[in-house]
Structure 1
Amino acid sequence: MNALDTGVLLCYFLVLIVAGILGAKRAKTAEDFALAGRNLGLFVYLGCLSAVILGGASTIGTAKLGYQFGISGMWFVFMIGLGIAVLGLFFTNQIYGAHVTTISELLGRRYNQKTRLISALVAAIYTLMVSVTQVIGMGTIIHAVLGWSMTVSMLVGGGIVLFYTILGGMWSVTMTDIIQFIVMTVGIFFVMLPMSLSHVGGWTSLLERLPASHFDLTSMGWANIFQYFLLYTLGMVVSQDIWQRVFTARTPNIARGGAIYAGLYSVAYAVALSVIGMCGVIVFPNMNDPQNVFANMSLEILPHGLLGLILASVCSALMSTASGTLLASSTLLSHDILKQYWLKNMSDRQFVLLSRMMTLAVGIVAIIFAIWIQDVLVALDVAYAILSGAIFVPVVLGFFWKRATAKAGFYSIVISSVVVLAGLAVEGLSSTNPIMYGIGVSIVSIVVFSYLFPSSNLKEGNKMIEDQQHAL
């Protein structure tokens, strides 16, 4: 990079910091800090939702998969988009009317406070791990471009996100996400994709120079495609960082429509990044680490100035998801654990301060984990395996099966979490089997415990479901 590219990137970081400071002025209450006052319109909501789901793994990981498998690399982000669309079509009416802050709070109403506690812990681990992937992604880009060590790169990138997230919570995240959504859309669809194709001679050249397997939608194998479905489609439906964005929408229609549009946007994003990775096969046929294909393509094909813009677009994708998941994890810990069990009588102002302190703590832990793991897709697989295997079944059955009881919900999450973690330890972090073990155990345990131990909260849980439906 030359001085122009560096200047573009630094100016972008400065804009984000200023936006974070402006957001801090609007974060006066706990609801402002966690949910931006539940007052976002369609475009802002769509931009924020798209920005949070398409992060470092989506950008760097899909380009990597496109390099390795061709157009089939799209399935990774396609399944994320499918999960968001399913959430919009079938679940927004259920969750929007509950007027809660976290997924754990809703589970606590449906089952009991023990279920709220354990689900908050599991969901906080998931959101923490997603934050880790974004810090790794930022480190990868900064390392490849500026030549800094990975450790320093991750400290700088993660530190900027942590700064503006602590300042204004969801309002800062919302303001920066809109900027990031615009920059990443322009950078990927209107700069990187057309210039990558132009550099290799167009789509016709790809057809002639790449093997036929790179144009086979299933070349990565049905096992991998099914794994992405289990991890990301199911995971999106019960993801706290996504739910927290849903709660920011002004109306149920905005919540539903924005989720569907974000799903469609994700599919287009998946195809674009896969094609960029395919172009990388021609430009760098013997790349040792495909995870660097996007950064290396940027350095190879872009003129100065545009290179800075593309790097800003990638950082946009990374930072928006990192800020959203950091806030989600800190909200779960402060709202569902600390406030419920130790700090019950704190004022609204004190809770905002607590939320900022927890965001700082979670951010520090995320940066430490990122320095330790340093692999985007492995970290993301662990995060979604825990979420899909342990939380998905209790949430869905809690909505649609009235017989599900408090003990059943609690023990289902505990048992399936243990099974998933044990399976990952035994079979490896990239194995699909632990997720299926967790889902299977979760279904069996929630059904068995519901029949063996009918709970006195059954009527209350059913009434909660009916009240939500009537409210909508």
Structure 2
Amino acid sequence: MSVLDTTVVLLYFIILIVVGFVGAKKAKTAEDYALAGRNLGLFIYLGCLSAVILGGASTIGTAKLGYQFGLSGIWFVFMIGLGITVLGLVFIHHIYGANVTTISELLGRRYNKETRLLSALVAAIYTMMVSVTQVIGIGTIINAVLGWNMTASMLIGGGIVLFYTILGGMWSVTMTDIIQFIIMTVGIFLFMLPMSLSHVGGWEALTSRLPATYFDFTSMGWGEIFQYFLLYTLGMVVSQDIWQRVFTARTTKIARSGAVYAGLYSFIYALALSIIGMCALVALPSLKDTQNVFAKMALEILPPGILGLILASVCSALMSTASGTLLASSTLLSHDILKQYWPKDISDKKFVFLSRLITLVIGVIAIMFAIWIQDVLVALDVAYAILSGAIFVPVVLGFLWKKATAKAGLYSIVISSLVVFGSLAVEGLSSTNPIIYGIVTSIVSMVVLSYVSQPSSPSQEVNRFVEEEEGRKLING
């Protein structure tokens, strides 16, 4: 890169650090720190949700899949967007207005406090693993762009994320999300996509230089597409970092509309990145590390200044998602575990300090895991296998099946979590079978244990939960 591009990237990092200080001034209370005061309008809220789709793992991963499979590479991000759309259309009227902070808190209301504790631990592991994927992505970009050692790149990039997340919480996440959303949208659709196509001679030239399978949306295979559905569509519905963004919306209408719009945007974004990956195959046919497809293509086609801005924005995308998931993980641990058991009467100011301390610990662990795994898609598969395999069924049946009991909810999470972890250990981190095993185990456990432990009459807790849900539906229209 030129000196100008390197300067742009470094200046971008400085801006993110400044955002941390600005966020720190806004994050005065626990609700400010975790949920940005529950006061975001449609545009900012849409930017926050779209930033999840625009995340670095999505950008790097889709370009890589486009390089390997062509248009079929869209399914990774498309399934993420589908999950957010389903969340908006089906579940937001259940969860918005419940005045909760985490998915585990809602599970605790539906089942019992033990379920809240266990689901918080499982969801915290998931969100931390998503942070790991983003730190790997940050290291990949910095390594490809600046030529720094991969480990050093992850340490520096992850350290910046950790710094501004600790300071500003959700306010910092929100501000970086908006910066990322605007620049990545402009960068991909006004620069990267048209310049990639121009570099290879246009769409007609691309179709003549690539095999026909690259223009088949199902070329990666229905089995792989279905696995993406299990991993990402189901995972998005019960993802704490997504729920935490949902709770920042000012109204139910904003929460629902923003989720649907973000889901629709995902298809367009996935299509653009897949085409960029296909262009990279023509321009860079002998690329050894396909995880560097996006960065290498940017280095190949973009002029000085624009190159630095685009690569900096990709780092920002990674950092934004990493900060959101780090915050989600620390919120689960602080709000659903420590605050419930020790110390119970902590002041709001001290609780914000405790949340920042836990964020520091989670961030350090995430950076260590990133250095160990060093593969974005493998780490992401592990994260969603844990979430979808262990949490999805108890959440959905808790809303839709009144006969689900507290004992069934608790033991379903215990059993399916053990199955997922055991399957990952036996079949390897890259296997997606564990999520199928986990979901099947969870369904069987929920149904069998609910009927075995079914009381003669519904418990007061279940009745209260159902009454609250019906009341919220009336309020929300």
The amino acid that maps onto 2:388 is S
CA offsets 1:71-105 (integer angstroms, 9 cap, x no match): 10010000001001110110111000211000000
Query: 1:2 offset after TM fit, Å?
Result: 1.4
- Aligned residue number for residue 28 of structure 1: 28
Q: Which amino acid aligns with 1:387?
A: L
Cα displacement (A) at 1:470? 3.2
Q: Report deviation, 1:454.
A: 2.4
With normalisation by structure 2, the TM-score equals 0.97
2:239 paired with 1:235: no
State the alpha-carbon separation in 2 of the partners of residues 176 and 64 from structure 1: 25
8 Å Cα contact 1:125-1:329 kept in structure 2? yes
- Structure 1 residues 51-76: Cα deviation after superposition (integer angstroms, max 9, x where no partner): 13331220111100000000100100
Are the aligned partners of 1:104 and 1:116 in contact in 2 as well (CA < 8 Å)?
Answer: yes
1:211 to partner: Cα distance: 0.4
Q: Is the 8 A contact 2:381 2:432 kept in 1?
A: no
Q: 1:112 matched to which residue of 2?
A: 112
- What CA deviation, in whole Å up to 9, does each residue of 1:164-221 have, x standing for no partner? 1111111111112111111111111111111111100111111110000000000001
Percent same amino acid at aligned positions? 77
Q: TM-score under structure 1 normalisation?
A: 0.98
**Partner of 1:355 in structure 2?**
355
1:289-331 deviation line (CA, Å, top 9, x unaligned): 2111111111111111111011012112111100100000000
Code of the aligned partner of 2:468 = M
Q: Residue 90 of structure 1 corresponds to which residue in structure 2?
A: 90
1:467 aligned residue (456, 459, 471): 471
> How many residues get paired?
472
Supply the AA of the counterpart residue of 1:469.
Answer: K
Within 2, Cα distance between the matches of 1:348 and 1:67?
Answer: 49
* Mapping 1:366-381, distance limit 5 Å: 366-381=366-381
Could you give the per-residue CA deviations for residues 337-395 of structure 1, whole angstroms, max 9, x where no partner exists?
Answer: 11111111100001100011011111111111100100000000000011111100010
| Matched residue, 2:146 | 146
Matched letter for residue 21 of structure 1: F
2:76 corresponds to 1:73: no
Secondary structure of the residue that 1:402 maps to in structure 2?
coil
Deviates more, 1:248-257 or 1:301-310: 301-310
On the 8 A contact 1:183/1:312 being kept in 2, the answer is no
Q: Which letter does structure 2 place at the counterpart of 1:317?
A: A
Letter in structure 1 aligned against 2:32: D
Which amino acid letter does the alignment assign opposite residue 279 of structure 1? C
RMSD of aligned alpha carbons: 1.0
Between the aligned partners of 2:441 and 2:467, the Cα distance in structure 1 is 27
Equivalent pair of 1:78/1:266 in contact (CA under 8 Å): yes
What is the rounded CA distance, in whole Å, between the counterparts of 1:91 and 1:262 in structure 2? 15
Aligned to 2:4: 4
Q: Note the C-alpha offset of 1:161.
A: 0.9
Q: How far apart in 1 are the matches of 2:398 and 2:351?
A: 29
Hey, what does 1:99 align to over in structure 2?
Answer: 99
Question: Is this contact kept in 2: 1:232–1:384, CA < 8 A?
Answer: yes
**Partner in structure 1 of residue 185 of structure 2:** 185
SS at the partner of 1:180? helix
Separation in 1, partners of 2:362, 2:286 = 38
Mapped to 2, the partners of 1:380 and 1:464 lie a distance apart of 35
- 1: CA distance, partners of 2:293 / 2:108: 44
Whether the 8 Å contact between 2:53 and 2:77 is mirrored in structure 1 is no
Contact 1:73–1:274 (CA<8 Å) still a contact in 2?
yes
- Following TM superposition, the consecutive aligned residue runs of length 4 or more in structure 1 with deviations greater than 6 angstroms are none
What runs of 5+ residues in structure 1 fail to find an aligned partner?
A: none
CA shift, 1:430, in A, is: 2.7
**Take 1:467 and 1:413, find their aligned partners in 2: how far apart are those partners?**
28
Q: Residues 334 and 354 of structure 1 are in contact (CA less than 8 Å); yes or no, is this contact kept in structure 2?
A: yes
Partner SS for 1:15 = helix
Whether the 8 Å CA contact 2:16–2:176 is kept in 1: the answer is yes
Check conservation: 2:45, 2:258, Cα contact below 8 A. Answer: yes
What's the secondary structure of 2:163's corresponding residue? helix
**Aligned residues of 1:97 and 1:469 also touching (Cα < 8 A):** no
Shift of 1:403: 1.1
Structure 2 stretches lacking a partner, 5+ long: none
